[in-house]
Structure formats: C-alpha cells, structure tokens
Copies of this chain bind each other. A is one copy, B any other.
Amino acid sequence: MTFVKRTELQMFDGRQIFYYDSTPVDRTAIDARPFEPRPLPGDMREDVLTGEWVAMASHRQGRAFLPPKEFCPLCPTKSDFGTEVADNNFEVVVFENRSPSFSAPSDQLPPETIQTLGRCEVVAFSDHHEGSFGSLDFAHMRTVLAAWIDRTREISKLPYVEQVFVFENRGEEVGVTLNHPHGQIYSYPFITPRTSKMLQVAQAHFDKTGVPLITSIIDREINDQVRVITQNEYWIAYVPYAARYPFEIHVAPKVFVPDFAELSEVAADAFPEIAKEVLLRLDGVFGIPMAYIAAWHQAPVRKGRDVLGLHWQITSVRRAPGKLKYLAGSESAMGVFIMDVKPEASAQQLRDVQL
C-alpha cells in the first residue's frame, strides 16, 4: 500500500493548496503575501458555426510569462520572495490556478453571463526548478499519480463539473510560460468536443461488440506488435495506428478503467516504470528534451463511464532536431492531419533508443 499524506492549507487569497508527501511530514507554512482579490469567472460563448463553447478569460493576458528562475512562482518560498508555495520545500503540491480559465460560480456577475464554471489547478511535480516529470524517481512519480487520483476524485464531486482533464505542456515550443516542472488540471462545465466525439465512437463500438474501445485497441496493438514501444503487467505504450503527430504515444492501463478515481492500487504502482521509460525514450530520439503535450483522457464524470477508458496521449510536434510540425491550414481549419512520419517508423525509433 503506497503511503501518501495530503495536507490542505489556504493561500493568501483564499485559494486551496494541497501538499502530497510520501513521508509523514508536517506542513504548516503560512502564505503571508498581502491579500489580493481573485479574478471573477469569464464568460462562455457559443461558437454558433460549430455549437462549441469558447471560454473568454481576458484576465489571463497579463499572466506570468517565462520569469527568470529567481522569480519562479512554483519554486518554494524563499525568505525574500513569496511564491505560490509557502513552504521552503515540498514533494508534490497542487493549488488552484491564480489565473483560472474556469472557476467557481460568482454572484458578482450580471445574471445573463454564462460563467466559465469549473476549476483549474496547477500541479508542481517537484520543488526543483529544473527537470521534468520524466526525470523524477519512481516513488516521486507515484506521489504525482496519487495527487492526480485524489484531485480527480475531489473535483468530480463539484456539481458544475462534467469532465476533469489532467495534462502537462512541456517546452516553450508548445507555449509553456513557466519552466518549472509542472502539469495542470482543467475541469469543464461541459463535455469537450474531443471527448464528445470519442464518447460517440466508443459507445457505438461498445454497442456493437460489448467491449470498451480502448480494450479492442490494446488487443490490436499487441497483435500487430509493430507499434508497441513497451509494456509491463499493467500498462502498455504504443504509437497509435493513425497517429497525428511526428511522435505520438498512447499509454493505457491493460484493465479498463474510466478514470484515475477507479485505477487500482497495483496498476498505479506499476505506472512510474512505464512512464519513465516512455519519456526517456522520447527525449532519446533526438538527444534533446522533447516538447510535448501529455493529455490524460478520462471518461466524463456522469456519462460514458462504461465505454470511455482512461489513457495517456503524449504528442510532440518535433519532427526533426531543427523542425517542428505546425498545425497549419488543413489541421487547424479543417481538422485533417497530414503525417510525415509513419507510426511504425516512429515506434521503431522510440524502441531503438538506448536507455
């Protein structure tokens, strides 16, 4: 049984912060920064051409943008500089985003406003400013996973949240504005366009076969072999058959679960090993840290929980050491991806990396 202690404290402006520790350490540090009011929710607008929601969050335009290391808001607080984390050390910490795209309801907005309800959190993977999720040791990765599981469970209880999205953007090439190793959790008051589409397809597959789609996909990948990167008893990592990015890796638990909340203890304990291997292989392809978006697909909170399975989608736009793939006309305006690299070839490149 993995031990993880959670300590909940409050930040200077009333936001919640959660320390996750694999040792029974006491966390009592007080966030002594002077009070500032929190931003109100933005408004949601329907794109009438597609029926999709767009979140207007104009307070985000002025947010921190690649501050130098000494002003990193995710490092522990130093005597002369108060950061988002009041303690002078931590293992893993999660707190509410200071500039959230989605937030709790406010009664200070005109009643006709469709508020951007939800919750946005930041997950600092470590108190070290350098490194990344993949450079953590196994035990530390397991604590991050414990935080993802705990946060998914808690946020799923909010009545205005329909979907919890755990992700990590890594690298300035994908727009990261803080270099400190961290991920984020967004939660939405609707089912997102991507998830809606996946739900629809997964439901049709389930109705036809009685098997969750992700289970059938894993069976196919094990059968085809050519796109499998690595596996252990509980997880499998593969390049999907119709990958959209020069490097795209899916990592899925072998036993179907809708989300982190239902992940078994044994599967959780087996995750760090495969996560670390996959991320080291990704960085090994060109011998440089790869920019990526690592997105956890989870079933919505109240829908499709028997058909849509938890899986981790890591996509990188790097197609060669000096070249990025851009989402230009076809991808951006039409949603049609053009792939320069065969999935079987990128899987081979990933397998060939010497660890």
Measuring CB to CB, which residues of chain A are less than 8 angstroms from any residue of chain B? 45-58, 60-61, 65, 101, 165, 167-169, 174-176, 184, 186, 188, 192-195, 197-198, 200-202, 205, 213, 217, 240-244, 293, 295, 297, 313, 315, 319-320, 323-330, 332-342, 345
Contacts and interface: CB of A to CB of B under 8 A. Distances in A.
Contacts of A50: 194, 197-198, 201
A168 B339 CA distance: 19
Contact of A337 (B54, B202, B329): B54
B336 A293 contact: no
Main secondary structure of the interface of A (DSSP, over half): mixed
Nearest to A336: B192
A319 B154 CA distance: 34
Contacts of A345: 58
19 contacts: A47-B240, A48-B205, A49-B202, A49-B217, A50-B194, A50-B198, A53-B242, A55-B336, A55-B338, A65-B323, A167-B329, A174-B326, A175-B324, A184-B329, A186-B329, A192-B335, A194-B333, A297-B333, A327-B327
B48 A340 contact: no
Given A47-B240, A242-B54, A338 B60 contact: yes
Contacts of A54: 242-244, 336-339
Contacts of A52: 197, 335-336
B49 A101 contact: no
Candidate in A327, A336, A342 with the most chain B CB atoms within 10 angstroms: A336
Contact of A340 (B60, B194, B205, B328): B60
A60 B325 CA distance: 12
Given A48-B213, A174-B328, A194-B334, 5 more contacts: A52-B336, A54-B337, A167-B333, A192-B334, A192-B336
